Amino acid sequence: MLVNPVKNLKEDDVKIFLVEGTSLKLLEDTLKDFKSLKPKVEKVMEIEKFKGKKGESIKLIDPLLYIFSLGESEKITEDAYREVAAKVSARLKKDKIGKAVVIADTKYSKAITEGLMLGVYDFDKYRTKDKEDRFDVEAINILNGNQKDIKLGSITADAQIFSRNLVNEPGCVINPITLANIAKEECEKVGLEVHVYDEKWIQEQGMNGLWMVGKGSETPPRFIHIIYKPKKNKKKSKKIAIVGKGLTFDSGGLNIKTGDYMRTMKLDKSGACNTIAIMRAIAKLEPDVEVHGFIGAAENMPDGKAYRPDDIIVFRNGKTAEIDNTDAEGRVTLADVLSYASEQNPDVIIDMATLTGACVVALGEFTAGLFANDQTLADTLLNISKITGERLWQLPLDDENLREKIKSPVADIKNTGGRYGGAITAAMFLQEFIADGIKWAHLDIAGPAFTEKEYKYYSKGGTGFGVRTLIDYILNTK
């Protein structure tokens, strides 16, 4: 679906107004014939008992127009525009209307564009039965929309959709090798430099964590490095590393998950899918910073070759860890990836990982846990997330009593810290692999990366949560 700005409203356009509460001011300001229309609109409002709550809508048949409310004016945020715009495009799809014009406060052109595009998302490629009934909304224009913001919103929404599509592919389609192939193909297409390394290289490089986790699978692990360099070769441009957890499927390994917990574990590659999506968007947006994407792709399976509880791993940076539970594998793969990323001397490392169930217990399924070794970085991400609507909540990294829990009698650390504070001890494990002097933030997206029910602009399945926040962060880095 395309979103474009348009200068004039035509008589036969399907018009969609995004209004504050029940206010008809926007219609009054826009429509020449509003006076004759007003009683009609008011009558429909009365019949439909339109209260002007967020997302509430009415439809007028003649002329064909919709009014969507953003809710009470004092509560309207940028994300309200995104959320309501998603309802608009979903409604048009349902009503089989291919083209329409949105009339709204054009200050929110970016959020509206994102909402419109995300609202019609549906992972339907494997559903063959209702194919004839499916309808695609072709284009929605925004009256006097800001061209630059619409373009930016189209790229960020497209990135989020790209990530969703990849996450929603099952483990029989996406394994470490196919994930690496897609990363290479899709990123090279937009002019990025991509290096994919095989299991031999991984072992030679001392990435024993990534290797140990991945070797129980029929498909060996891959290490993916995607590079964006700004065209203007400014000497002082900042360097950002984005790291994504890439477990293409997580059975738990020898500590095998039970059925309920294993289902949906194709989602365990969400961080990696986000990383590829972000890098593609960055190539199109051409910011003045250098950005590197790093992914350790592996499949965690039980097998004669699988790693075991009690195993001791010597990681790339020389640190050692005792394996307590093979299902805490994300941090074991990320350890080497974060070490490698650290060696490239970035100013900032941000990782995204569907890391712990404990984080979902702590914050619920709609909020990601944020951990950072630098409060300015944490505050920046928190502020951006308020605009993007991707909820973040900061959790502590300074609880030294909790840190005791990941101590091991036989190695430097161990890969689980018990049930209490599990999201925090997992983050503390990762912190061991961040080199001194590098600012680092870790997003535990185990909750919001995937949803079993529709909400806001999310449909069932992968959400691409985090993509827009990190793109915004990169674009705002000077």
Judged by beta carbon, residue 67 or residue 213, the one nearer Zn ion is: 213
Judged by beta carbon, residue 274 or residue 342, the one nearer Zn ion is: 274
In this structure, the chain runs to a length of: 478
Concerning whether 468 is annotated as a catalytic residue, the answer is no
Work out how close the CB of 251 gets to Zn ion at its nearest, in angstroms, rounded to a whole number: 8
Hey, what's the torsion of the CAs at 27, 29, 35, 40, to 10 degrees? 0
The one-character DSSP state at 13 is: S
Work out how close the CB of 446 gets to Zn ion at its nearest, in angstroms, rounded to a whole number: 10
Work out how close the CB of 350 gets to Zn ion at its nearest, in angstroms, rounded to a whole number: 21
Task: Count other Cβ atoms within 10 Å, centred on residue 139.
Answer: 14
Work out how close the CB of 429 gets to Zn ion at its nearest, in angstroms, rounded to a whole number: 13
Residues from 43 through 102 that contact Zn ion (CB under 5 A):
none
**390 part of the interface to Zn ion, by CB under 5 A:** no
**290 part of the interface to Zn ion, by CB under 5 A:** no
Judged by beta carbon, residue 114 or residue 327, the one nearer Zn ion is: 327
Instruction: Please identify which residue in 83, 250, 336, 390 interacts with Zn ion, judged by CB under 5 A.
Output: 250
Judged by beta carbon, residue 13 or residue 329, the one nearer Zn ion is: 329
Q: How many residues bind Zn ion (CB under 5 A)?
A: 3
Characterize the bridge pairing of strands 461-462 and 450-451: antiparallel
As a whole number of angstroms, the distance between CA 205 and CA 219 comes to 19
As a whole number of angstroms, the distance between CA 40 and CA 181 comes to 57
Radius of gyration of the chain from its Cα atoms, rounded to whole angstroms: 24
Judged by beta carbon, residue 12 or residue 310, the one nearer Zn ion is: 310
Work out how close the CB of 393 gets to Zn ion at its nearest, in angstroms, rounded to a whole number: 22
Work out how close the CB of 252 gets to Zn ion at its nearest, in angstroms, rounded to a whole number: 6
As a whole number of angstroms, the distance between CA 345 and CA 435 comes to 9
User: Got the DSSP string for 400-467?
Assistant: HHHHGGG--SSSSEES---STTHHHHHHHHHHTTSPTT-EEEEEE-TTTTEESS-BTTB-SEE--TTH
Concerning whether 110 is annotated as a catalytic residue, the answer is no
**324 part of the interface to Zn ion, by CB under 5 A:** no
As a whole number of angstroms, the distance between CA 383 and CA 377 comes to 10
User: CA separation (Å) from 131 to 121, 125, 166, 394, 460?
Assistant: 15, 9, 21, 43, 18
Task: Count other Cβ atoms within 10 Å, centred on residue 468.
Answer: 29
Q: Which residue is nearest to Zn ion (CB)?
A: 327
**444 part of the interface to Zn ion, by CB under 5 A:** no
User: Got the DSSP string for 99-121?
Assistant: EEEEES-GGGHHHHHHHHHHHT-
Catalytic residue among 222, 331, 405, 414: 331
Judged by beta carbon, residue 57 or residue 333, the one nearer Zn ion is: 333
Structure-token match 């293409």, residue found? 248
**327 part of the interface to Zn ion, by CB under 5 A:** yes
Catalytic residue among 229, 257, 284, 386: 257
**13 part of the interface to Zn ion, by CB under 5 A:** no
Q: Which residues bind Zn ion (CB under 5 A)?
A: 250, 327, 329
**What residues are labeled active site?**
257, 331
